[in-house]
Amino acid sequence: MKLAKKRVKFRNCLNSGNNKGRITKVQDASTIQQFSYGMLGEVIKNIRTFVMPGGQDYNTPQK
């Protein structure tokens, strides 16, 4: 059994605001999640994109 690979992106730039040092993107074979953070480190935006085979991608913005 082969496990799917996940890619995780951290923000460490000086100009990244509240996202500095936090996970900003998680990607696997069928889903991409993007996160934005508030001043206290809380998740204020979570956009999930479902990658459909041979079709259109679907976004589900969540607050």
- CA-wise closest residue to 49 among 37, 58, 39: 58
Confidence of residue 22 (pLDDT cuts 50, 70, 90): confident
Considering the domain boundaries, does residue 49 fall inside one? yes
Residue ranges making up the domain that contains 43:
7-62
pLDDT, the chain, mean: 79
Name the percent of the chain in helix, strand, coil, to the closest 5. Answer: 5, 50, 45
- pTM check: above 0.75: no
Number of domains composing the chain: 1
